[in-house]
Structures are given as C-alpha cells and as structure tokens.
Amino acid sequence: MLRLDTLAKRYKTGDHALKGVSFTVEKGQVVGLIGPSGAGKSTLIRCINRLVEPTGGSIYLNDVDLAGLSGGELRRARRRIGMIFQEYALVERLTVMENVLSGRLGYVPFWRSLLRRFRQADVDKAFALLDRVGLSEHADKRADELSGGQRQRVGIARALEQDPELLLVDEPTASLDPKTSRQIMRLIMEICRESGLPAVINIHDVMLAKMFVDRIIGLTAGEVVFDGAPALLDDAVLTRIYGEEDWTAMQASAAEDAADAAATYGAAPPERVKEERMAGLA
C-alpha cells in the first residue's frame, strides 16, 4: 500500500511542481495519473522512489516513510519499487539479459554484478519474465537491436525482476504506435492483476487511461483536481484538468482511431492472434 501525504516539491528555480499531493493506493489498484504537460506528473512519480528529492510531505510504502530514508536504506526501499520509463531507458549497449538482470542490482553484492555472476534463481526468473513478455529468443541480443515495443517489454521485465511491491510507470506508451501502446498497457495491466501489484501510471493519453486503469487522478499545476473512477471522467472534469477544449469531438476521433486500428490489425489470421495471446501480448 502506498500513501502520499501532502507531498511537495519546489525546484531550485522556484517552480512549485507539487503543492501538497495526498492520496492512497491500495494493494492491487492501478492508478492512472493524467494532466497537462508540466502538471508535475513526472515529478510526482520520481519523488516516490526519490529520483527527485521531495521538499515536503511523506511517502509511506507499507508504513515506512521513504522521504526520510538515505544511503543503504533508500536503496533497499528502491529495489522493491519497479519503474518503467517513457523512452524505455534500457542500457542500450548491454544485452537484453543484462538489462533484465540489472533489476537484481539492489539485491546482489557488487562483485557478482561486476562479473555478471548472478544467482541461478535470478537467471531463472529473468528467463521466465522474458518468456512472459514474449522475448525469450532475444535474450542474447543487444538492447539497441530491438524495436520500440520490444524494448518496452524488456523495460517491463527489468522492473518485474526487482520483485516489486509497487510499480511506477512513466508515460509507457508515449513513444509507441497505437497498437503497440494498447498491447503494452494490456500487458502491464495483466501483470498487475496476476500478482495484485499496485501501480501508478503517468499517461497523457486520456482514452487509453479510461480504457485500462481502475482509478484516475487528475493533476493540474501540482494539485490533485480529480480523483475517481474512469467512468466519472466527463467533459466537465476534463475541462477542469486540461482547460477548455471540445472534448466530445476529441473522444469521437479517438474512437475512430481505435476502430481503424481494430480494422487494420484485428483481421489478423487466428493463428497469429493465438500466438500473440500465448506470448501475453494480445
């Protein structure tokens, strides 16, 4: 369980990125964080695992205040928080396997990671995860040889290799095409469902958020302006989050996009669909 209590962040430049954000994420709940660019979504996610230092408030993960930790304690807390990034953030020149195994860095001593002598249990887990995300044949490839969707799957496997209690996901689909975006979101949702993993997902695509997540939090100028079920996200709320815009027209065109995508990709032969389903993608 994750509980944020009046979390605040003020950058040295004076920008007030977060102004006392509070909410609680129950076990197994997937929260979509939406809001305009510059609303503080990325800062909020990075404050939770302290890649960005919050300037006020607390972050409770299972009753431990992450805001007060430092050094080894902070690293031990971080290793239980998996993170998935917008531009994948894989180490491009390492192999897929090394990238997935880097999820164990918080658990293994330095010499093991230096010599790449990971425990067999860790390697087993990495193979199982690569299998789960449909990349078992690519273990030996270098990360920069993969396509965008494949890289993001490696990113997911790396986060899961950490054995996380919480998943932080920063714009997972921003660099992907509509079909791959849906596959990736579906994969993340399935994984969260399977293991009751709570997740906070930054997402700029409102339609995608409504389609997948359990609960939506709208952030504007560092403040929570909406917190509720996706079904409650109507035009009035969207205007409150993003400002004035013709939301009905936008939703209609998004629905058309989805229909187009379904028409283009949905007609795939049954075997391929089945294969994809087996690989956990469809």
Partner 1 sequence: MPVSTTADGRKVWQRRTTGRQWAIWAGWFAFVVLLVWCWELMTRTTIWAFVYDAPRQISDLGNRMFPPRWSYIDRLIWPLWDTINIASLGTLLGIFIAVPIAFCAARNTTPSLYILRPIALFIIVASRSINSLIWALLLVSIIGPGLLAGIIAIGLRSIGFIGKLLYEAIEEIDESQVEAVRATGANGMQVLDYGIVPQVLPAFFGITVFRWDINIRESTILGLVGAGGIGLQLQSSLNTLAWPQVSLILLLILGTVLVSEWVSAKVRHAVI
Q: Binding segment for partner 1 among 14-22, 102-110, 131-139, 189-197 (CB under 8 A)? A: 102-110
Q: Does 73 bind partner 1 (CB under 8 A)?
A: no
Q: Does 93 bind partner 1 (CB under 8 A)?
A: yes
Nearer to partner 1, 12 or 93 (CB): 93
Residues 169, 185: Cα–Cα separation, whole Å: 10
- Site for partner 1 (CB under 8 A): which residue of 91, 252, 255, 259? 91
Shortest distance (Å) from residue 251 CB to partner 1: 32
Shortest distance (Å) from residue 36 CB to partner 1: 22
String of contacts with partner 1 for each residue 32-71, x by CB under 8 A:
-----------------x-x--------------------
Q: Does 78 bind partner 1 (CB under 8 A)?
A: yes
Nearer to partner 1, 166 or 216 (CB): 166
Structure-block tokens of residue 132: 């789960």
String of contacts with partner 1 for each residue 113-142, x by CB under 8 A:
xx----------------------------
Q: Does 105 bind partner 1 (CB under 8 A)?
A: yes
Residues 88, 158: Cα–Cα separation, whole Å: 10
Q: Does 106 bind partner 1 (CB under 8 A)?
A: yes
Q: Does 146 bind partner 1 (CB under 8 A)?
A: no
- Site for partner 1 (CB under 8 A): which residue of 37, 70, 110, 231? 110
Q: Which residues bind partner 1 (CB under 8 A)?
A: 49, 51, 72, 75-81, 83, 85, 87, 89-94, 98, 102-107, 110, 113-114, 155, 158, 162
